[in-house]
């Protein structure tokens, strides 16, 4: 077991990393241990940031909140809720996937993994909602970027660079996030018993209108049975489109879509506000793979290639759900089926996509690639960036790529 250090201040984090850097001691950075994403790494020391917790400042009228990196996401959302505000990137609760129960983990962990929910294709990814951060690089130096206002700047946006870097560039200490008022109303238009190709066509047509959908997902029939909603038919496939905003606007936009898809009127229904919110919370939290013992992957593809990809593997031992209007596939495969995993990788590259292994047993995490990208030059670029932030490669070494 690695020696665990749990600092309570930024100064202590800096001193710890500086000391490890001088001795070239590798460090595994952890928070609430709610998201064991990435390659399995072995380090002699562990830096746990859960004690670096608390809301530093929150100005609802300025639409931002500044927090320490170890602050639980649940605490942040509870504070925002008091002012009827939210994080519009809709952070996922990965606790259901990993342990079968809610555990949103820390805000630093969410930033490190760039985890965004079903609203991502409309609101942007988590990285688009960071206004600034403070952290400690691999040399023990304080790195800071951004501020508390949205503005354009010349040069690199370091906030976006560290988001999704899985703790390989800096140990985050403070984060500033944009917030927004909660939507008054949420309704979901449902179309039952159609195939993926027709669902993708519905998504495409909806996005070409002015109704501004904020959610679009597809559940094949075998994946919809976990829902416990009275107004949801879980015996067939489910194609769902979410609309949010003022109630009068949402109702009008739902009616517009009903007319647009009149050919499906016999299988169209609508989830009202309460059940609509539960539906999308369950989807964002990946509850369809609740406590899965298998390998779960996140596949990003151009929507025009999604149907082709699924058709190739539909008869395999593949369970899947499509989100982000066809841009995202969540897929589950048996934990020991390394052949199928590699076939998925090959097809993803062929179709101009990329794949991330989100959950896997340790024997898979230690030997399999965690990230698969169509552009091998990304690894070269990642190494150069790593060397600039962490020249001795002591922060989460090998977490993203072997040797980086």
One domain for residues 211 and 294: no
Dig out the tokens for 81 from the structure.
């809720």
CATH number at residue 312: 3.30.70
- pLDDT surpasses 70 at 152: no
One domain for residues 97 and 110: yes
Give the tens place of pLDDT for each residue, 77-118: 999 999 999 999 999 999 999 999 999 999 999 999 999 999
Domain end point (choices 181, 212, 236): 181
Give the tens place of pLDDT for each residue, 240-263: 999 999 999 999 999 999 999 999
Q: Specify if 167 maps to a domain.
A: yes
One domain for residues 342 and 246: no
Give the tens place of pLDDT for each residue, 176-213: 999 999 999 999 999 999 999 999 999 999 999 999 99
What pLDDT, on the 0 to 100 scale, is given for residue 375?
A: 83
- Please give the DSSP secondary-structure letter assigned to residue 155: S
- Give dist(CA 76, CA 72) in Å, integer: 7
Band (155; pLDDT cuts 50, 70, 90): very low
One domain for residues 60 and 176: yes
Element (H, E) at 270: strand 268-271
Q: Specify if 352 maps to a domain.
A: yes
- pLDDT surpasses 90 at 331: yes
Determine the structural domain holding residue 115 and report its residue range.
Answer: 48-181
Dig out the tokens for 189 from the structure.
């238009």
CATH number at residue 175: 3.30.465.10
Q: Which residues contact 2 (CB under 8 A, 6 or more apart)?
A: 28, 42, 43, 44, 45, 46
What pLDDT, on the 0 to 100 scale, is given for residue 150?
A: 43
Dig out the tokens for 301 from the structure.
């593809």
4-13, 92-101, 119-128, 307-316: which has the minimum mean pLDDT? Answer: 307-316
Domain end point (choices 217, 250, 284): 284
Dig out the tokens for 134 from the structure.
């403070």
Q: Tell me the mean pLDDT in the region 144-156.
A: 56
| CB atoms closer than 10 angstroms to residue 290 | 16
Q: Specify if 13 maps to a domain.
A: no
Domain end point (choices 222, 251, 284): 284
Band (41; pLDDT cuts 50, 70, 90): very high
- Strands 170-178, 130-137: pairing kind: antiparallel
One domain for residues 60 and 173: yes
- Please give the DSSP secondary-structure letter assigned to residue 88: T
CATH number at residue 211: 3.30.70.2190
Q: Specify if 228 maps to a domain.
A: yes
Tell me which residue of 170, 73, 70 sits closest to 126, measured CA to CA: 73
One domain for residues 159 and 210: no
> 276, 254 in Cβ contact below 8 A?
no
pTM, rounded to two decimals? 0.94
**Burial of 403 per CB tally in 10 Å (0-12, 13-18, 19+):** exposed
- Please give the DSSP secondary-structure letter assigned to residue 367: T
Q: How many domains does the chain have?
A: 3
Q: Specify if 162 maps to a domain.
A: yes
One domain for residues 322 and 258: no
Phi, psi at 361, each rounded to 5°: -60, 160
| CB atoms closer than 10 angstroms to residue 197 | 12
One domain for residues 256 and 310: no
Q: How many residues does the chain have?
A: 404
One domain for residues 159 and 197: no
Band (148; pLDDT cuts 50, 70, 90): low
Q: Tell me the mean pLDDT in the region 228-247.
A: 96
One domain for residues 177 and 245: no
């Amino acid at each position: 077991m690695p020696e665990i250090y749990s600092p309570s201040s930024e100064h202590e984090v800096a001193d710890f990393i500086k000391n490890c850097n001088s001795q070239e001691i590798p460090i595994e950075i952890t928070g609430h241990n709610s998201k064991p994403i990435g390659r399995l790494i072995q380090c002699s020391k562990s830096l746990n940031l859960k004690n670096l917790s608390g809301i530093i400042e929150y100005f609802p009228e300025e639409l931002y909140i500044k927090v320490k990196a170890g602050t639980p996401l649940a605490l942040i959302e509870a504070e925002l809720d008091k002012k009827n505000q939210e994080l519009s990137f809709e952070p996922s609760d990965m606790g259901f996937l990993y342990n079968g129960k809610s555990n949103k983990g820390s805000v630093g962990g969410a930033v490190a993994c760039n985890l965004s929910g079903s609203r991502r294709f409309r609101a942007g990814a988590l990285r688009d909602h960071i206004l600034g951060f403070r952290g400690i690089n691999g040399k023990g130096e304080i790195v800071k970027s951004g501020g508390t206002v949205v503005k354009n700047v010349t040069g690199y946006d370091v906030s976006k660079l560290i988001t999704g870097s899985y703790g390989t560039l800096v140990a985050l200490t403070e984060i500033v996030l944009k917030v927004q008022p909660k939507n008054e109303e949420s309704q979901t238009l449902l179309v039952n018993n159609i195939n993926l190709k027709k669902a993708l066509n519905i998504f495409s047509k909806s996005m070409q209108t002015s109704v501004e959908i904020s959610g679009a997902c597809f559940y094949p029939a075998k994946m919809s049975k976990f829902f416990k909603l009275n107004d949801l038919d879980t015996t067939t496939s489910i194609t769902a489109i979410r609309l949010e905003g003022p109630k009068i606007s949402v109702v009008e936009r739902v009616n517009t879509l009903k007319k647009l898809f009149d050919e499906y009127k016999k299988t169209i229904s609508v989830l009202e506000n309460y059940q609509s919110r539960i539906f999308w919370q369950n989807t964002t939290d990946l509850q369809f793979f609740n406590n899965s013992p298998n390998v779960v992957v996140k596949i990003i593809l151009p929507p025009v290639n999604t149907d082709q990809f699924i058709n190739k593997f539909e008869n395999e031992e593949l369970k899947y759900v499509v989100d982000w209007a066809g841009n995202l596939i969540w897929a589950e495969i048996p934990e020991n089926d390394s052949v199928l995993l590699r076939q998925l990788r090959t097809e993803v590259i062929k179709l101009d996509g990329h794949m991330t292994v989100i959950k896997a047993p340790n024997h898979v995490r230690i030997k399999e690639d965690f990230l698969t990208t169509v552009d091998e030059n990304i690894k070269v670029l990642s190494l150069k960036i790593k060397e600039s932030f962490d020249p001795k490669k002591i922060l989460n070494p090998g977490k993203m790529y072997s040797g980086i």
